[in-house]
Structure 1
């Protein structure tokens, strides 16, 4: 595959009709092959042959999926093919319980590779490019997805993973790597180490950077920082274990295009759980249109997005996620009535710090309302060699741009934990966290 897929530029009405046709066929298939949905729909008296009331169906949640694994181990009741037809299993991180398996058939893997190839092509990658995959391969789903897709496109693929920092840097220069993919935190870590070694990555052959796995690519200040350090265009990619991939940015960099021939998307109010108009934030709810192994219907992603259906300069007609994923519905902080996402804090921090400083948001009981339990201010820890004016400047910027009071703590460089996988930006305070070097109310 080395060209634009026809369906990416179909007129809106043709795309909508195609999506609904796929949805009807998928619902009929799921009704006959998924034990979970067959039982649920029978109890509801819902007939998939008449899906006009599709949005009346319950949402499917992670908790539902995990309970099904206990009912029918090891694959669960969502598995819709015989076990011997599974070609691949990937797992969740298991940080909140037992790792959750999700299966793929050979047809699912082929579909997965095609979608990743489309993403790479839309960002300017072509056959002959050298792609170094810097996503992890140990259980993390993104690494093998990138490897499959860029191979399908015709690139030379180096499956580097997210370790061996100095070897990764040497490989980039030695083999003329022109495209990379990884988490923003690992790519910034590589850039910092490369500068320390006197080999700034802006001097490499890399011209295409796709990031995913955590916020960053859609955070303007973080994107600008990655582009400056790598001397390359940075594109945001979005997916999750259950849906791979969901959306990706094209060369226009105006929000990830939803793969609307792969997923049926709804955006709903996180509290009322009713549809919101395009242009308004809500939680993304997804339904597979052709997944075979573990098809999901009305999957509650928990990710807050804004749907944009205005024309894109690239000519693709699939809806975009304006501003990428704004945050997790369950990670949103309410500070004196103001909704604040960690990605918004990151944008301010990156611009004020002006370098590769690490930071995190600390949930401190001392800054909570004793009645409601909600934060009355943000506490932000940031690394800096010296305090100087940074605490006051950052506190003022957070108040001006996010309309919240901020307590800023400066800690010595290297004190905050690093990660080569997904950065953890929000933590709870411990006794040691309360010992700070500088505080600005």
Structure 2
């Protein structure tokens, strides 16, 4: 007999509460970081409301803990000899975190990525091209492991130029490309210069990571148009795991609720946000016992919604995926601005090859401008659309072709020059 929607919801909540209690019992015995943090906890947790009374975990805490207890800190439950993998965060928002995984935890990472690949329609008949130079950043290491488990041929692209990667994809008849949204767009630029017609290549799907662009409709449309391939988004963090993936609808992200508990809070009040409001995503991973995180503030901004996805997946759905980062938000003339909001509009102009956002101070007030590379003069139209949609005037500056940087990993398109001392001529 099939379960009703209500029964399925209750079953999932009961399962998650059970997994939380298993994790809490373990960490309060074997993890020095959480043993101290949860020293007054009373187990077992009876309800999710009780769980939400536990303190949050922040990246700042983990960084400080590693500084006090170098090199790896105390958020590890096993002796150092039990760990087989080392990774570190990219450091784009502060000092990098060092992360260790046991074999069991690394297999868990792999299995989370198996769900990402399956949701993107990948099978053992595909050939995956990883446009990624393997290093300490976790990148697509776990995607590689997942593909191996699924019996899918993996074609590595490390240590190659963009031209070499394009040749390798074509010559080896790769069907799926894994890269950042920015790099997918850059590869399309290089292909155009080389006279390669990307839609005629075997690439049928692109799985993106590292940036929110894969769920930004205008960015996704640009990539799909240039490649003639479907774009599937993915969300993960080195310290948390691969927690989110897109589906056949490709208009947001599903949380893998079998492995993660998701909360959405107001970053100021720390209280749950209401339906339809934006908030910060807070996650707990259930089975990464080698490096657990409980009520971790990701700083990712998402939309709180209980509406089901049209694909039929009952796991929690985040419309539009990751909307922005709490630490990326800047208030300009009373308006909250996320870089992803500007990107959404910029990417509606196919003529724009690359862009950059510059924050600066003028007359002691925050200002913002957008620099663009475009063969056509679309500055006025872009400025009008930015003003109409964001609500303030944003200057648009056209810069020479090729003058803005390109990125193979996480893009850094925001320059913050606020309060920089003015040069005296």
Instruction: Please give the TM-score of this superposition, normalised by the length of structure 2.
Output: 0.92
Measured after TM superposition, the shift of residue 25 of structure 1 is 0.8
- Once residues 69 and 82 of structure 1 are traced to their aligned partners in structure 2, the CA distance between those partners, rounded to angstroms, is 16
Q: Which residue of 28, 41, 63 maps to 1:46?
A: 41
C-alpha distance after superposition, 1:57-99 (max 9, x if no partner): 2211111001111222222111111111112110123456653
Gaps of 5+ in 1: 1-9, 436-441
Change (3 A) 1:94 1:304: closer
Q: How does 1:120-139 map to 2 (within 5 A)?
A: 120-139=117-136
Q: How does 1:87-106 map to 2 (within 5 A)?
A: 87-94=84-91, 98-106=95-103
Assess if the C-alpha contact under 8 Å between 1:303 and 1:328 holds in 2: yes
Assess if the C-alpha contact under 8 Å between 2:129 and 2:178 holds in 1: yes
Assess if the C-alpha contact under 8 Å between 2:89 and 2:239 holds in 1: no
Q: Which residue of 351, 355, 358 maps to 2:351?
A: 355
Structure 1 stretches of 4+ with a deviation exceeding 3 A read 94-99, 429-432
Measured after TM superposition, the shift of residue 24 of structure 1 is 1.1
Assess if the C-alpha contact under 8 Å between 1:31 and 1:38 holds in 2: yes
- Once residues 412 and 159 of structure 2 are traced to their aligned partners in structure 1, the CA distance between those partners, rounded to angstroms, is 16
Assess if the C-alpha contact under 8 Å between 1:218 and 1:236 holds in 2: yes
Assess if the C-alpha contact under 8 Å between 1:31 and 1:48 holds in 2: no
Change (3 A) 1:48 1:103: farther
Name the SS for the 2:340 alignment partner.
helix
Q: Which residue of 256, 262, 265 maps to 2:262?
A: 265
Assess if the C-alpha contact under 8 Å between 1:279 and 1:307 holds in 2: yes
* Partner residue, 1:404: 392
- Once residues 282 and 412 of structure 2 are traced to their aligned partners in structure 1, the CA distance between those partners, rounded to angstroms, is 24
* Partner residue, 1:4: none
Residue 322, structure 1, aligned to residue 322, structure 2: no
Instruction: Please give the TM-score of this superposition, normalised by the length of structure 1.
Output: 0.89
- Once residues 248 and 308 of structure 1 are traced to their aligned partners in structure 2, the CA distance between those partners, rounded to angstroms, is 16
Change (3 A) 1:430 1:59: closer
* Partner residue, 1:3: none
Change (3 A) 1:323 1:162: farther
Residue 78, structure 1, aligned to residue 75, structure 2: yes
Q: Which residue of 381, 399, 404 maps to 1:416?
A: 404
Q: How does 1:2-21 map to 2 (within 5 A)?
A: 11-21=8-18
Name the SS for the 1:205 alignment partner.
coil
- Once residues 279 and 26 of structure 1 are traced to their aligned partners in structure 2, the CA distance between those partners, rounded to angstroms, is 31
Assess if the C-alpha contact under 8 Å between 1:135 and 1:182 holds in 2: yes
Assess if the C-alpha contact under 8 Å between 2:263 and 2:282 holds in 1: yes
Residue 429, structure 1, aligned to residue 417, structure 2: yes
- Once residues 165 and 131 of structure 1 are traced to their aligned partners in structure 2, the CA distance between those partners, rounded to angstroms, is 16
Change (3 A) 1:429 1:97: closer
* Partner residue, 2:3: none
Residue 212, structure 1, aligned to residue 209, structure 2: yes
Gaps of 5+ in 2: 1-6
Name the SS for the 1:11 alignment partner.
helix
Measured after TM superposition, the shift of residue 279 of structure 1 is 2.9
* Partner residue, 1:200: 197
- Once residues 65 and 309 of structure 1 are traced to their aligned partners in structure 2, the CA distance between those partners, rounded to angstroms, is 32
Q: Which residue of 382, 385, 389 maps to 1:394?
A: 382
Measured after TM superposition, the shift of residue 340 of structure 1 is 1.8
- Once residues 50 and 225 of structure 1 are traced to their aligned partners in structure 2, the CA distance between those partners, rounded to angstroms, is 47
**Paired residues, what number?**
414
Residue 383, structure 1, aligned to residue 376, structure 2: no
Assess if the C-alpha contact under 8 Å between 1:192 and 1:356 holds in 2: no
- Once residues 357 and 422 of structure 1 are traced to their aligned partners in structure 2, the CA distance between those partners, rounded to angstroms, is 17
Measured after TM superposition, the shift of residue 282 of structure 1 is 0.4
Please provide the CA RMSD for this pair: 2.1
Q: How does 1:288-307 map to 2 (within 5 A)?
A: 288-307=285-304
Change (3 A) 1:275 1:244: same
